[in-house]
Structures are given as C-alpha cells and as structure tokens.
C-alpha cells in the first residue's frame, strides 16, 4: 500500500508528532509511506525520521507568510478547531491540491481539522482514515457539531483509547464508518530495563496545570517523611515551573523533590528510577506511562479519563488511584516504596504487559484496518454495514441536539457581549 499521513507540523515537538513518526516508520518496513506536514517553520524536524519515510511540507512559514492568501481566514478547516488560528486560505488551497493529486491508497488525518479536509476533499479512490489524539468529550460543542457532519465522509476513525471510541459510537451517528481504538506505540527500548533497586520515583511531561505535579509533590511528602532516602524527579518544562519550585520550598522537600528540566528522549532517565508516577486530571492516552512501563517501571497513576485505566492493571503492573486524591496517591507510592519484592514483581509485570504497545502489534492492527478499508472502498461499500439500532439513532440525535444548542447559545452570548462593548 502507499500510505500518506497528513500532519499539522512535523517540525515541532509533541505526542502526536512522536506517535505519527513511530507509526510511519514501522509501516515503512512493508509499505511506501510519506508524511505531509501542513506547516514547516525550520529546516529539519526535531525528531529524526527514518529515511524510508518521505517528508514534504505544504506551507513553509519562513517564506509563505507573505502570500496574499495566507492572511485570509480558512474556510474548509473548521472554525471551532483548536488550531484554527494557524490555518488560512493558503492552507485550505494547498491541502486541497495535495489531496486531489495524491497517489496514495490510504490517507490518514492526524487532528480534527485535517480529518475534515480529508473527509470532504479526498478523491473517491482514496481511503480516508481519521485519527483523534484528543477526546470527543473534551472537544467544544461547536467542534463536535462540525465533526458530526464531516466525519461521515471518513472510512474509519481511530481513537487512542477504547473509552473514546465508545464515546464516538454512542454520541455520533457515523453510518458505515469503522470506529476503532488504535493505541499509540512506543519503540523497543535500547537500554536494559530498570532493576527496581533505585530509590527514585520518576515523572515526565509538560509542567502544565492539568498534569497536577502539585498533587504529586504533595503526595510525595508522605513518602519522604517515611523514607527520606527516596527522591522524586520531575522531567519537563512549562508554565508551572516556578509555582512547583515554591511548593517544594513550602513543603520543605528540597532534599527529595527535583525539577530536572526537559529530557528527550526520556529512556535513559526512566531506567534510573524504579517507580513511574502520573497525577493528571485528564490524559487522552498517557504516553509517558507506557514509556515508563516499557523500561520496567510499575506506574502509579490517577485513574483519569481516558488512558491510564486502559494501560495500567491496578495492583499488577502499577496502581490506579482516584483523581485529585493526594492521600491515595501517596499511599499507593508508599506501598511500592516499602515493599521491594512487590515493586520488583510489578516492574516485571509492567515490562511484560506493555509489550502490547510495541510497534509490532499496533502496526499489525493498523495494517489490518487499512486493508479492510481499501477492500471495502474498491468494492464500493462501507467498511462496516450500518446496523445502528433505532435507540442508538435517538441517543446520538440527543447529543447532536445538545451540542447544537450549546453552540447556538454561545454564539448568542457572543452577540450579546459584542453589543455591550
């Protein structure tokens, strides 16, 4: 197959870029694969791309900012999309041209706005796969309304969790569209796994409020009080840095908790620890949890929507605790800190259980899905027969009506606010 990924910006840093590169590289073993980057702002990507995967940009921000169409607002890319501000008539035009001319069998969109382009503009012979790396329930109602209409033009929609796939099936009527969870993959680690002896807990991610590093630091105070020889290392940078530094000072934890700065790749840092930790309020997938487990660390995480609960088996390869519960998080960490044998056992289980996120199994699933969609499209039939029960239609219509009402109410509010200025 010839497979083409449509990516917002392959030259940046982020989970969608990492996972797209991983999947593209793994598919390149057996297929012709390209990544089309809508935007480009520097010469080389931050992450090295396997030379078997070709990369081409559509709009180069270093030159195209002068283009007359660059200043006109986008008309195809949906207005309610998070990245709407970075799209314009030039991106509309270049994406449309790229899709019209594609010789790929399968084109894969990697964010809602690009999935909309794909659904509306891909030529009839091309299979359209939409990928959602965020979640339906967290999309604003106006975006959900736009996607509800457009996504019917896809052959398949992949989410990163089963929970999000279930939300799409329940709340959006997408007749004929295969909705399936396709988890992110993490490459096989190059270093030997952690041996579970280091007195170090490791966490990694952007230092932003939703990650709740404040909660993790407070929870670690319970560990440090009982085991002063243990440390917590937090890798990453972001807007919360100074506030977290102050919290460490206020709690007197400067001998135990360290803000390590950003590290990429993280692998050599995970293997210095023996427990991974995550305290997020919300995590569409939970890439760092999988990374830590693939390095042999059991992970203690909040059981937030949606990823952690589908990655960690509570009590086997890690722990799941209620969201926002400092004491539960601290107690779960202590449980693994106190008991060496339990920690070692959980670490071995993590290593074993996380193999399902290796590129191999994930790529096999993707290949099967793409092949089914190609066969169906060539035969002129949908990937899945429409068997939505009448009740299901009613439910999805209910959600559609609610989103439409929210959208209408919020635009009415905007009109009112504008009037008050």
Partner 1 sequence: MSTEHGTRPRVGCTVDTDGRISFDLPPGPDGEHAAQQLLLRLRPKKGQPEKTLHVLDLKPADGRLSAVLDPEPVLAEGRWDVYLLQGPDSERDRLRPGPRDLRALVDGHLRDRRSPLAVRIPYVTKDGYLAIRTWLRPAHAEAGRVDLTDRSLTVGARLHGAALEEGAVVLLRLRGAGGTEHTLEPRAEADGRGFSFTVGHEELAAATGVWDVFVQPAPEVPRVRVGRLLDDVADRKEVFVYPAATLGGAVLRPYFTVDNDLSVEVTKV
Shortest Å distance, C-beta 255 to partner 1: 5
Among residues 50 and 103, whose Cβ is nearest to partner 1?
50
Which residues in this chain contact partner 1 in the complex, by CB under 8 A?
18, 21-22, 43-48, 187, 190-192, 194, 198-200, 228, 245, 249, 254-255, 258-261, 264-265, 267-268, 271-272
Task: Tell me how crowded residue 72 is: count the other CB atoms within 10 A of its CB.
Answer: 13
Residue 265: asked if its preceding bond is cis (omega within 30°), the reply is: yes
Q: Which is nearer to partner 1, 195 or 327 (CB)?
A: 195
Separation CA 53–CA 396 (nearest Å)? 39
Three-state secondary structure call for residue 98: helix
Rama region for 97: left / alpha / beta (φ>0; ψ in -120 to 50; rest):
alpha
Phi then psi for 317, rounded to 5 degrees?
-115, 15
Residue whose CB is less far from partner 1, 199 or 348: 199
Give min distance, CB of 167 to partner 1, in A.
30
List 159's β-bridge partners, or say none.
181
For residues 66 and 250, which CB has a smaller minimum distance to partner 1 in the complex?
A: 250
Cis previous bond, 306, omega within 30: yes
Q: What's the min distance (Å) between Cβ of 394 and partner 1?
A: 46
> C-beta of 312: minimal distance to partner 1 in Å?
23
CB nearer to partner 1: give 90 or 290. Answer: 290
Nearer to partner 1, 267 or 325 (CB): 267
Phi-psi region for residue 169, left (φ > 0), alpha (ψ -120 to 50) or beta? alpha
Supply the minimum distance, in Å, between the C-beta of residue 191 and partner 1.
5
Closer CB to partner 1, 45 or 307, in the complex: 45
Q: What share of the chain is helix, strand, coil (3-state, %, to 5)?
A: 45, 15, 35
Q: How far is the CB of 26 from partner 1 (least distance, A)?
A: 11
Longest dimension (CA), the chain: 67
Rounded to the nearest whole angstrom, what is the least distance from the CB of residue 215 to partner 1 in the complex?
A: 21
* DSSP conformational letter for 322: -
φ and ψ at residue 36, rounded to 5 degrees = -100, 120
CA 354 to chain centre: 17
If DSSP codes are grouped into helix, strand and coil, which group holds residue 158? strand
Quote the least distance from Cβ 131 to partner 1, whole Å: 19
What distances in angstroms separate CA 114 from CA 117, 261, 361, one per listed residue? 5, 33, 26
Residue 44 is encoded by which pair of tokens? 């080389």
Please identify, using beta-carbon distances, which residue of 71 and 191 lies nearer to partner 1.
Answer: 191
- The distance of closest approach from Cβ of residue 210 to partner 1 in the complex, given in angstroms and rounded to an integer, is 24
Which is closer to partner 1, CB of 186 or CB of 366? 186
Quote the least distance from Cβ 259 to partner 1, whole Å: 7
Number of H helices, E strands in the chain: 14, 13
Element holding 35 (H helix, E strand): strand 32-40
Q: Which has the closest alpha carbon to 187: 262, 266, 109?
A: 266
Whichever of 51 and 389 has its CB closer to partner 1, that residue is 51
Give me the least distance between CB of 180 and partner 1, in Å please.
Answer: 25
Smallest CA-to-CA distance from 300 within 332, 342, 327 is with 332
Q: Which residues contact 200 (CB under 8 A, 6 or more apart)?
A: 230, 231, 232, 233, 272, 273, 274, 275
Pick 11 or 87: Cβ nearer partner 1 = 11
């Amino acid at each position: 197959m010839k497979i083409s990924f449509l990516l917002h910006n392959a030259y940046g840093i982020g989970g969608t870029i990492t996972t797209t590169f991983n999947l593209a590289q793994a598919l390149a073993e057996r297929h012709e694969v390209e990544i089309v980057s809508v935007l480009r702002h520097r010469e080389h990507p931050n992450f090295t791309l396997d030379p078997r995967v070709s990369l081409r940009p559509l709009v180069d921000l270093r030159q195209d900012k002068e283009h007359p169409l660059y200043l006109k607002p986008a008309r195809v890319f949906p207005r309610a999309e998070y990245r709407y501000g970075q799209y314009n008539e030039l991106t509309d035009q270049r994406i449309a041209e790229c899709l019209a001319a594609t010789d790929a069998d399968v084109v894969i969109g990697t964010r809602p706005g690009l999935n909309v382009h794909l659904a509306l503009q891909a030529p009839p012979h091309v299979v359209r796969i939409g990928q959602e790396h965020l979640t339906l329930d967290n999309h604003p109602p106006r975006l959900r309304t736009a996607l509800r209409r457009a996504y019917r033009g896809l052959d398949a929609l992949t989410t990163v969790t089963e929970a999000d796939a279930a939300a799409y099936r329940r709340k959006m009527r997408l007749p004929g569209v295969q909705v399936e969870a396709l988890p992110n993959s993490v490459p096989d680690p190059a270093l030997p796994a952690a041996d579970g002896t280091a007195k170090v807990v490791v966490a990694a991610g952007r230092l932003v409020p939703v990650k709740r590093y404040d909660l993790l630091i407070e929870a670690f105070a319970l560990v440090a009080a009982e085991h002063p020889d243990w440390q917590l290392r937090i890798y990453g940078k972001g807007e919360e840095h100074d506030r977290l530094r102050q919290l460490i000072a206020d709690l007197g934890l400067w001998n135990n908790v360290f803000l390590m700065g950003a590290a990429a790749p993280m692998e050599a840092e995970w293997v210095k620890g023996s427990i991974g930790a995550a305290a997020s309020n919300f995590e569409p997938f939970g890439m760092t949890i999988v990374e830590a487990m693939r390095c042999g660390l059991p992970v203690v995480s909040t059981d937030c929507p949606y990823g952690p609960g589908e990655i960690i088996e509570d009590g086997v390869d890690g722990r799941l605790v209620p969201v926002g519960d400092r004491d539960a998080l601290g107690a779960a960490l202590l449980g693994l800190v106190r008991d060496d044998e339990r920690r070692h056992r959980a670490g071995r289980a993590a290593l074993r259980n996380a193999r399902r996120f290796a590129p191999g199994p994930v790529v096999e699933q993707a290949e099967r899905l793409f092949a089914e969609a190609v066969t169906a499209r060539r035969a002129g039939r949908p990937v899945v027969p429409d068997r939505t029960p009448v009740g299901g239609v009613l439910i999805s219509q209910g959600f559609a009506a609610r989103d439409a009402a929210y959208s209408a109410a919020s635009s009415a509010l905007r009109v009112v606010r504008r009037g008050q200025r």
